[in-house]
Amino acid sequence: MTSEPFTLRWGILATGGIAKTFTKDLLIPPATRNAHDINHKLVAVASSNSVSRAQAFLHEINAPSTSKAYGSYTDLVSDPNVDIIYVATPHSHHYQHARLCLEAGKHVLCEKAFTVNAAQAQTLVDLAKDKGLFLMEAVWTRYFPVAREIRERVRKGEVGDVKRVWADLSFWNDVEGVFGGDEGGHRMVNIGLAGGALLDLGIYSLTWVFQILYHILPESQRSEPIVSSQIAKYAGTGCDEMTTIVLHFPKTGAHGVATTSIRVPTTPTPVIIQGTLGTITLPHPIYRPTSYKIIPNSSFESSQPPNSSQPQTSLEEETITHGVEGGGHGMFYEADECARCIKGGKLQSEGLPWEESLLIMKVMDEVRRQGGLVYPEELESCEYPLNF
């Protein structure tokens, strides 16, 4: 006997670029990606101050006629037909907006970076726990079939012990032209919106390092990394335009190198996972992974003399591709995860547990401390509510 799929009823908080991409994906029937246990319903979208912007949003994505448009976030969180809210405002506002939703008794999927700092993230987690609500940082990358498969293969030891992970996400931009120059209008370099490469892009580099050097390890092997980092600031606004982080994981001795920039392009091989038996590489874009390559280490030059003994492996070089199913962007994978967790009564996702989001936020706090990057006081505050 097959049971009816569980339907999760969504509210969308914000009408910007990623809100549109995510909501379009939400409207793609889950069966097109072979998901038959869950369904998504778009109940409503809210703009912060303009009902017509919310209406235009619904029109543009061809939403069902039953979807409502609200001209305030407070109206959205008061809708009794909404189960979960996707928070898609700039980083600066995640804490205030996610908290608004949790206080109103809604489950939350909150865009990355989770919050501006770890203290804010901890406050949200404590609140979700107290209220018995689901809360997840929307690091969609982790829910792609390619990411799941790499984690599984590394966990099984196919590439041996992983000693080092390199990960880069950068964009080559005419920063002044694209992002608004000294005025720093675009959220990417706007200090008032907690802009900068680290929170926007570096989170993905850290995601790859953490998935492999932390997430998949048994708990006894996991350790908080020691952080060494450098930040180069964008002269126009003081946000970071390039950040380089070296992480040392004391229990395993493994190293992660996470880099990000908005001045130079992503490195040609942006993720390299180096095990004692094999190497895994991913192409750009690492936030939306659809293929990877696995290479036995015997393919690389060794410093050992010929005929000396090398670790034995049956690995063969292969390139694996898992395109995004159903014609979407791939944001539906994280939405499906939310539905499955809520259906199963879970408050957090195993793909990105609270504890790991908090640790990554803590690492980013330390990187900002080392580089002297401080956001305006109201953005760093845990006070609620604050209007800015």
Ligand X SMILES: O=C1OC[C@@H](O)[C@H](O)[C@H]1O
- For residues 22 and 134, which CB has a smaller minimum distance to ligand X in the complex? 22
Among 107, 112, 362, 368, binds ligand NDP (CB under 6 A): 112
**Contact letters (x/-) for ligand X, 183-202, by CB under 6 A?**
-----------------x--
Among 7, 17, 74, 374, binds ligand NDP (CB under 6 A): 17
Minimum CB distance to ligand X, residue 320 (Å) = 23
With tokens 């850290």, the residue in question is 206
Cβ(147)–Cβ(292) under 8 Å? no
- What is the C-alpha to C-alpha distance for residues 197 and 168, in angstroms, rounded to an integer? 11
DSSP state of 141: G
Using CB under 6 A as the binding rule, whether residue 297 contacts ligand NDP is answered as no
Q: Segment 185-214, which members bind ligand NDP (CB under 6 A)?
A: 187, 193, 200
Q: Segment 139-158, which members bind ligand NDP (CB under 6 A)?
A: 140
Per CB under 6 A, the segment of 26-34, 45-53, 255-263, 267-275 that binds ligand NDP is: 45-53
Alpha helices in the chain (DSSP H): 17-26, 51-60, 73-77, 94-103, 118-131, 145-155, 175-179, 197, 203-210, 332-343, 354-371, 377-380
Token pair for 302: 């060794």
Using CB under 6 A as the binding rule, whether residue 18 contacts ligand NDP is answered as yes
Letter for the amino acid at 254? A
Using CB under 6 A as the binding rule, whether residue 22 contacts ligand X is answered as no
Task: Calculate the alpha carbon distances from 50 to 86, 113, 236, 375 in Å.
Answer: 18, 25, 31, 28
Q: Segment 302-361, which members bind ligand NDP (CB under 6 A)?
A: none
Residue 164: CA count within 13 A, CB half-sphere: 5
Residue 357: CA count within 13 A, CB half-sphere: 30
Minimum CB distance to ligand NDP, residue 73 (Å) = 7
Q: Segment 116-175, which members bind ligand X (CB under 6 A)?
A: none
- For residues 96 and 279, which CB has a smaller minimum distance to ligand NDP in the complex? 96
Using CB under 6 A as the binding rule, whether residue 14 contacts ligand NDP is answered as yes
Among 8, 15, 212, 294, binds ligand NDP (CB under 6 A): 15
If contact means CB under 5 to 8 A according to the sort of partner, which of ligand X, ligand NDP, none does residue 166 touch?
none
- For residues 91 and 255, which CB has a smaller minimum distance to ligand X in the complex? 91
- For residues 111 and 336, which CB has a smaller minimum distance to ligand NDP in the complex? 111
Torsion angle of alpha carbons 113, 138, 18, 77, nearest 10°? -100
Residue 72, Ramachandran bin (φ over 0: left; ψ between -120 and 50: alpha; else beta): beta
Per CB under 6 A, the segment of 82-90, 232-240, 273-281, 306-314 that binds ligand NDP is: 82-90
If contact means CB under 5 to 8 A according to the sort of partner, which of ligand NDP, ligand X, none does residue 326 touch?
none
Minimum CB distance to ligand NDP, residue 6 (Å) = 24
Q: How many CB atoms lie within 10 A of CB 276?
A: 13
Using CB under 6 A as the binding rule, whether residue 88 contacts ligand NDP is answered as yes
Cβ-proximal residues to 186 (8 Å cutoff; 6+ apart), any chain:
178, 179, 180, 195
Residue 35: CA count within 13 A, CB half-sphere: 21
Burial state string for 72-81 with b = 16 or more CB within 10 A and e = fewer than 16? ebebbbebee
- What is the C-alpha to C-alpha distance for residues 380 and 360, in angstroms, rounded to an integer? 16
Residue 132: CA count within 13 A, CB half-sphere: 2
Minimum CB distance to ligand X, residue 200 (Å) = 5
Among 24, 33, 40, 93, binds ligand NDP (CB under 6 A): 93
Using CB under 6 A as the binding rule, whether residue 287 contacts ligand X is answered as yes
* Residue nearest ligand NDP, Cβ-based: 16
- For residues 148 and 329, which CB has a smaller minimum distance to ligand X in the complex? 329
- What is the C-alpha to C-alpha distance for residues 336 and 145, in angstroms, rounded to an integer? 12
Which residues contact ligand X by CB under 6 A? Answer: 200, 287
Interaction site with ligand NDP (CB under 6 A): 14-19, 47-48, 53, 88-91, 93, 111-112, 138, 140, 187, 193, 200, 287
